[in-house]
Amino acid sequence: MFRISYRAAICGVLASLAVAAGEAGAASVALVCDGEFRMQRASVEGTTEAMFAGTMHVALVAEDDSVVEVRLQAFEDGARTPVQTFMLPPVEEAPETGEMVLLFPELFEDELAVPKAEPAMPDAAIIPGKLTIDTTDSEIVLHHVVETGPVVKARVDGRPLVPTREKVETVEMRLDRSSGDLSLVWGEASVRNHRRPGAIRTSKVRLHNEKSYQAVCMPVRQRAF
């Protein structure tokens, strides 16, 4: 009985998020999740692992039936961590000229004749993050990638001299809108210098750290993080 009523509650809250967003332009809902963290830290010698219980607060902001912002605040092993905010950029609509261009083309000749400046290329060591938030009837899926540092050649998965970004950080979240099941994975792949025993020079090797969180969420009243 509790499981059925719980599923109805989480489904109703997440469904009402889309309805409210459609009526008012934007709506938000807060969830509290209880689950378990799993930490995996890599080194040249091997991987260490630790597991502990933790709580997470999740805030979702929706516009036009789609989630556009996700905020996460975790309590890991009793310690509160900083808030993580993932926000999609606003959609810029092209100016509507409509029939004006057809009726008065001379008014737009100068604007059309001037070539638009090419956008400046980002610095090689700073690559803008790539964020997607997909909203369906069954789930909400977030994927975020941030690459920093230059491209270097390092040993990757046993293969030598593989071109790779010096540091790549990823966040993947999947929230089931019916059951409230939450899956989160934070990944960090970074290149480090390593000198093998007897070697004259150091070599570069890419290591991967990962933190995951599996939990079940339930709705709570809206709160400010």
Domains in the chain with CATH codes: 2-88+122-220 (2.40.128)
Predicted local distance difference test score (pLDDT) of residue 224 = 45
Predicted local distance difference test score (pLDDT) of residue 77 = 79
pTM of the model: 0.76
| CA 178 – CA 176 distance, rounded (Å) | 6
| CA 109 – CA 156 distance, rounded (Å) | 54
> What's the DSSP call for residue 201?
S
Does position 5 have pLDDT exceeding 50, yes or no?
A: no
For the chain, what is the largest distance between any 2 Cα atoms, rounded to a whole number of angstroms? 79
How remote is the C-alpha of 84 from its chain's centroid?
A: 9
pLDDT-based confidence at 184, cuts 50/70/90?
very high
Structure tokens at 67: 């989630």
Pairing type for strands 181-194 and 27-42 reads unpaired
User: Helix, strand or coil for residue 153?
Assistant: strand
- What is the residue-averaged pLDDT of the chain? 80
Length of the chain: 225
Would you say 40 and 48 are in contact if contact means Cβ atoms under 8 Å apart?
yes
| CA 55 – CA 220 distance, rounded (Å) | 13
Of 224, 187, 217, the C-alpha closest to 14 is: 217
User: Helix, strand or coil for residue 225?
Assistant: coil
146-154 mean pLDDT? 94
